[in-house]
């Protein structure tokens, strides 16, 4: 039986079997997704064009999901689990950013989730304060694409520095408030780029009350990217990471072994990870395999193989499971990764706030 999930994806018997076989006895009862995008489709100001879909695979799979739809998907994908999340809107100038933040606050009130406000580097202190001044908002999501818009390239500002899209006057406000910052690092060299490493160190020194969470393990989707960057930041026990959008079991294992199970929190990067398929790796590159005829999907497998594909989110959890088992992590470690850590960091933020 197929149940519609989101965009072109649905939930089928392959997924039900995969959950029973690989995930049911592993996923803790109480889970918390610390990196998920929720944005009402009506707040998209400019529709996606075919030209943009052909530029970048994420443009083809990232259709906005409303809070009500996200809640419906959570119930399908995590059967019998108590679920909550840290939700953020789309950090993309083709959306109504302030409207999206406000709409997300309402969704988070409705479902008991926490929120990050998407911010623009051009905002004043007052505008940042207004975006985070709400009991459900614990911090912000800056992004280099918020610097400016270019319809011909999603990555016009990929080589920006962190401080270009997260300027000091905003860091001061966020430090004073003790906010959470989910940081998607720039640069095609990813986390290991010298300016990323030095600017992250500087944020940690100069703004120590920010709960800094590096997204996607620093965009370490392949093992070489993890190996050349994570050791440079491993000593700082107060620097955290989310493992969203990482499918590679070797990367999960490497990060968990190096950083320990109390500095990494689970995230999905949904709705992207409702995608069906697998990822393969070769050196510093990866290929997304999927059964849907997207423009980017030039590596089709036989119908028999594609029929066995499950959701990326399930493949990611299985990869984390493999890493945890290889490292001999405890049940408590698993519970911390899948929610305990994020909840602990958020509780500390809220406690400081009230004080
Ligand atoms: Zn994301």
Q: Of 3-12, 23-32, 165-174, 287-296, which gets the smallest average pLDDT?
A: 287-296
Reply yes or no on whether the pLDDT at 152 is more than 90: no
Compute, in angstroms, the gap from residue 201 CA to the centroid of ligand 1.
Answer: 22
The percent of residues above 70 in pLDDT, for the chain, comes to 99
The percent of residues above 90 in pLDDT, for the chain, comes to 85
Per-residue pLDDT tens digits for 319-331: 999 999 999 999 9
A 10 A CB-CB count for 99 gives 15
Q: State the pLDDT at residue 354.
A: 59
Compute, in angstroms, the gap from residue 35 CA to the centroid of ligand 1.
Answer: 6
Compute, in angstroms, the gap from residue 176 CA to the centroid of ligand 1.
Answer: 25
Three-class secondary structure assignment of the chain: CCEEEECCEEECHHHHHHHHHHHCCCCCCEEEEEEEECCCHHHECCCCCHHHHHHCHHHHHCCCCCHHHHHHHHHHHCCCCEEEEEEECCCCCCECHHHHHHHHHHHHHHHCCEEEEECCCCCCHHHHHHHHCCCCEEEEECCHHHCCCCCCCCCCCCCCCHHHHCCHHHHHHHHHHCCEEEECCCCCCHHHCHHHHHHHHHHHHHCCCCEEEECHHHHCCCHHHHHHHHHHHCCCCCCEEECCCCCCHHHHHHHHHHHCCCCEECCCCECHHHCEEEEEEECCEEEEEECCCCCCCCCCCCHHHHCCCCEHHHHHHHHHHHHHHHHCCCHHHHHHHHHHHHHHHHHHHHHHHHC
Compute, in angstroms, the gap from residue 162 CA to the centroid of ligand 1.
Answer: 16
pLDDT band at residue 25 using 50, 70 and 90 as cut-offs? very high
Compute, in angstroms, the gap from residue 303 CA to the centroid of ligand 1.
Answer: 30
Q: State the pLDDT at residue 154.
A: 72
Q: Which residue ranges form the domains of the chain, and what is each CATH number?
A: 3-354 (3.20.20.140)
Reply yes or no on whether the pLDDT at 355 is more than 60: no
Compute, in angstroms, the gap from residue 52 CA to the centroid of ligand 1.
Answer: 18
Compute, in angstroms, the gap from residue 304 CA to the centroid of ligand 1.
Answer: 32
Compute, in angstroms, the gap from residue 74 CA to the centroid of ligand 1.
Answer: 17
Compute, in angstroms, the gap from residue 87 CA to the centroid of ligand 1.
Answer: 10
Compute, in angstroms, the gap from residue 183 CA to the centroid of ligand 1.
Answer: 9
What is the pLDDT of the chain when averaged over all its residues? 95
Per-residue pLDDT tens digits for 160-179: 999 999 999 999 999 999 99
pLDDT band at residue 155 using 50, 70 and 90 as cut-offs? confident
Reply yes or no on whether the pLDDT at 150 is more than 90: no
Q: State the pLDDT at residue 59.
A: 84
Compute, in angstroms, the gap from residue 37 CA to the centroid of ligand 1.
Answer: 6
Reply yes or no on whether the pLDDT at 145 is more than 80: yes
Compute, in angstroms, the gap from residue 214 CA to the centroid of ligand 1.
Answer: 11
Whether this prediction's pTM lies above 0.75 is answered by yes
Which residues make up the environment of ion ligand 1, defined by Cβ < 5 Å?
Answer: 269
pLDDT band at residue 57 using 50, 70 and 90 as cut-offs? confident
Per-residue pLDDT tens digits for 248-265: 999 999 999 999 999 999
Reply yes or no on whether the pLDDT at 198 is more than 90: yes
Reply yes or no on whether the pLDDT at 338 is more than 90: yes
Per-residue pLDDT tens digits for 70-105: 999 999 999 999 999 999 999 999 999 999 999 999
């Amino acid at each position: 039986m197929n149940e519609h999930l989101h965009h072109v994806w649905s939930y089928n018997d392959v997924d039900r079997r995969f959950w029973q076989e690989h995930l049911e006895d592993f996923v803790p009862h109480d889970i918390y997704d610390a990196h998920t995008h929720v944005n009402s489709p009506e707040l998209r100001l400019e529709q996606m064009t075919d030209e943009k879909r052909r530029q970048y695979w994420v443009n083809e799979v990232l259709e906005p999901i409303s809070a009500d739809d996200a809640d419906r998907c959570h119930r399908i994908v995590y059967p019998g689990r108590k679920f909550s999340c840290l939700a953020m809107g789309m950090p993309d100038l083709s959306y109504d950013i302030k409207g999206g933040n406000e709409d997300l606050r309402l969704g988070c009130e409705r479902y008991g989730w926490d929120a990050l406000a998407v911010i623009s580097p051009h905002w004043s202190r007052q505008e940042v304060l207004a975006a985070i001044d709400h009991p459900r908002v614990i911090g912000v999501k800056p992004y280099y694409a918020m610097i400016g818009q270019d319809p011909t390239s999603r990555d016009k500002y990929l080589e920006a520095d962190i401080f270009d899209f997260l300027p000091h006057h905003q860091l001061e406000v966020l430090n004073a408030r003790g906010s959470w910052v989910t940081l998607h690092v720039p640069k095609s060299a990813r986390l290991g780029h010298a300016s990323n490493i030095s600017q992250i160190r500087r944020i940690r020194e100069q703004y120590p009350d920010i709960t800094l969470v590096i997204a996607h393990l620093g965009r370490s989707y392949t093992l070489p990217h993890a190996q050349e960057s994570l050791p440079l930041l491993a000593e700082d026990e107060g620097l955290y990471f989310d493992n969203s959008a990482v499918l590679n079991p070797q990367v999960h294992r490497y990060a968990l072994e190096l950083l320990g199970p109390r500095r990494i929190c689970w995230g999905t990067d949904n709705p992207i990870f409702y995608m069906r398929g697998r990822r393969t790796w070769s050196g510093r590159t990866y290929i997304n395999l999927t059964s849907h005829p997207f423009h980017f999907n030039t590596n089709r497998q036989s119908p028999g193989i594609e029929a066995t594909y499950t959701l990326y989110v399930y493949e990611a959890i299985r990869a984390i499971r493999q890493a945890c088992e290889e490292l001999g992590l405890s049940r408590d470690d698993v519970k911390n990764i899948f929610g305990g850590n994020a909840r602990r960091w958020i509780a500390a933020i809220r406690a400081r706030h009230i004080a």
